[in-house]
Amino acid sequence: MLESKERLPVVVQDDHEVLSCLVARRIADLIREKNARGQTAVLGLATGSTPIGVYRELIRMHREEGLDFSRVVTFNLDEYYPMDPQSPQSYVRFMWENLFDHVNIPPENVHIPDGTVPRAEVPAHCAAYEEAIRAAGGIDFLLLGIGRSGHIGFNEPGTPRHSRTHLVFLDAITRADAAADFFGEENVPLEAITMGISTILEAREIVLIATGEHKAAIVKRAVEGDIHPDVAATYLQTHPAVTVYLDRAAASELTRVATPWLLGEVSWNPALETEAVIWLSLRVGKSILRLSTRDYRDHHLSSLVARYGSAGPINGEVFNRLISKIRGKSKLPSGRRVLVFSPHPDDDVISMGGILRKLVENGNRITVAYQTSGNIAVFDHEVRRYLDFLERGEAVLGGDTGDVRDTVQRIREALARKKPGEVDLPEVQNLKRVIREVEAVSALESVGLGADTARFLNLPFYQTGKVRKDPIGPADVEITLRVLEETRPEIVFAAGDLSDPHGTHRMCLAAVRKALAAYRGPEPELWLYRGAWQEWSVAEATVLVPLSEGELRRKILAIFKHQSQKDKAPFPGPDEREFWERTEDRNRGTADLLARLGLPAYYAMEAYVVEQGGRRVEPSGVPTASLGGGT
């Protein structure tokens, strides 16, 4: 039995949808209990991408199971200040679009801080909000997310424990994370109105949800760290009825997940053995083959070394496991049908530009299916540049372009009137789509593929014109299934990133998995790549593909073909570096880590996880060589 460093109850689920359903079911049970007694259920609600799955499940239960919201009263945690309630970024609009418009809650039962209150009246508004909560009998159930700064609500580092609903200045990290919603950090409000810590802690039951690797570090601090004003979420440790719900990615840095051997006896398996030996090697600063029996015993790994009798056999076993993952060009698939799914029109070259070129050189028949247009990630100035090209190219191209000039002028006027975050005209959305498509074809050509290998799926879930997307639906799965049936792949590549800030990668992977489940052909291997937001660890990866300096440089040049994403990406997420910089650092970092572990020193390396039937497997085809078969 493992001890625990966790100071809060934590539930970890592999599936994000299961996580949302668990929380939604708890809310539904409370509503039904209250309804049965003729009482009001008072809910505290959060916004952002994390709770959307919960709200979708509540809507489903209302429609399909008759869940009755007529007695429900809600209080939202926060709102930007100042904020027009009709703005695309308004939490008022968010809540009505994502929940209230779809259930039978009386409008007068909905309470959200008012971002339009004159500044002089904000203190009185905050006091009235507190009074309304008290008048409703207090909050029965409060749903929270957590920011990378550790905020709950908008209670940023330094917020005192006794705080009530108040106006707060937003932390730089919070504003950076919100930049995508506002199409630029400069458009993010400096302030917000938020429930205070005391207000939150007076709720009778609290649930905190976090998903994605980018939340892992702050989740560990909130759950295992000491209570401190610098991390407002640590105050939850003082509450008697808090549960934290995490997906596997957000839980990845918790001690019981990352280093369970530090908590007590564990049930060893090959994956855990590999994790432990890599951890020990880095901890003591020795290559794997030089680790001693004493190193194991001094670092809580006596039971592991005891399984093998001494350090030598376990060192050799893990070293050989890692060596077997390394696959140079001669040990990669050849002459196979390969289908690459790319969530956006640049994820293919960002994450797998190295192996893609090798697969081309190995004579594989490759199709690249771009799942979304990526059009919202194109700045308006890019459209203006192409419009200017059309006008200046008129004299060269000739012909009657009067209709085009009228359309160009109308688009220019619309862009001039457009507010940050406002949905583009259909013509602008289509122009931005075309820009991304042209860039994608250019990038494919740079790795040796022709334009005929590209498929632009334009999945419907993405076509909202807004940052937030619709859930994956039958039409998305059907379109994905059709390209599977057309290409009948033996190998499928798909994005396994879970930290995409707005969940597009996660939803695209869900569409692929659902389509594969419905596919009637022979089951292909599924190779999952990362790179845009995170990278597979050496222990997690099934295949490690070495790249020479020249190969990495050519991969980066392919990324450069996506000029609309160059210099400054519209949605950089928590990592502000350009995508090519992230790629270079992660690919070189993986290779450097292997060298530190005592394995062959390569210049750079891509990492993949191979699955079949939902299980991780060794890739079929060519057997591995002892040192990876070159680059």
As annotated, the active-site residues are 156
The number of beta carbons lying within 10 Å of the beta carbon of residue 109 is 18
By the 8 A CB rule, do 391 and 474 touch? no
The DSSP result for 530-575, as a single string, is --SS----TTT-SEEEEE-HHHHHHHHHHHHT-GGGSSS-S--TT-
- Residue pair 236/153 in contact (Cβ under 8 Å)? The answer is no
For 185, the 3-state DSSP assignment is helix
CB atoms within 10 A of CB 226: 9
Burial of 402: CB neighbours in 10 Å, binned 0-12, 13-18, 19+: exposed
Bridging pattern class, strands 166-169 and 191-194: antiparallel
Cα angle 303, 305, 310; round to 5: 145
Q: Which residue do the tokens 């122009």 mark?
A: 431
Encoded tokens for 3 = 């001890």
**Dihedral sign computed on CA atoms, order 290, 293, 296, 297:** negative
Q: Which one-letter DSSP state was computed for residue 425?
A: P
Six token digits for residue 367: 């199709």
Cα 150 versus chain centre, distance = 18
What token pair was written down for 208? Answer: 């905190």
Closest by alpha carbon to 202, among 154, 136, 120, 299? Answer: 136
Backbone torsions φ then ψ of 90, nearest 5 degrees: -70, 140
Instruction: Please answer whether residues 440 and 370 qualify as being in contact, where contact means their C-beta atoms are separated by less than 8 angstroms.
Output: yes
CB of 592 closer than 8 Å to CB of 290: no
**30/139 Cα distance (integer angstroms):** 12
Instruction: Say if residues 447 and 368 touch (Cβ distance below 8 Å).
Output: no
Q: Taking Cα atoms as reference points, which of 606, 441, 612 lies closest to residue 519?
A: 612
Round to whole Å and give the CA distance between 41 and 137. 9
- For the CA atoms of 549, 555, 557, 563, the dihedral, rounded to the nearest 10 degrees, stands at -150
- Cβ neighbours for 36, distance < 8 A, ≥ 6 positions apart: none
CB 628 within 8 A of CB 322: no
| Cα(620)–Cα(508) distance, integer angstroms | 25
- Torsion sign across C-alpha atoms 361, 367, 372, 373: positive
Q: How many CB atoms lie within 10 A of CB 540?
A: 18
User: 610 phi and psi, to 5 degrees?
Assistant: -105, 130
Cα–Cα distance, 119 to 130 (Å, whole number): 18
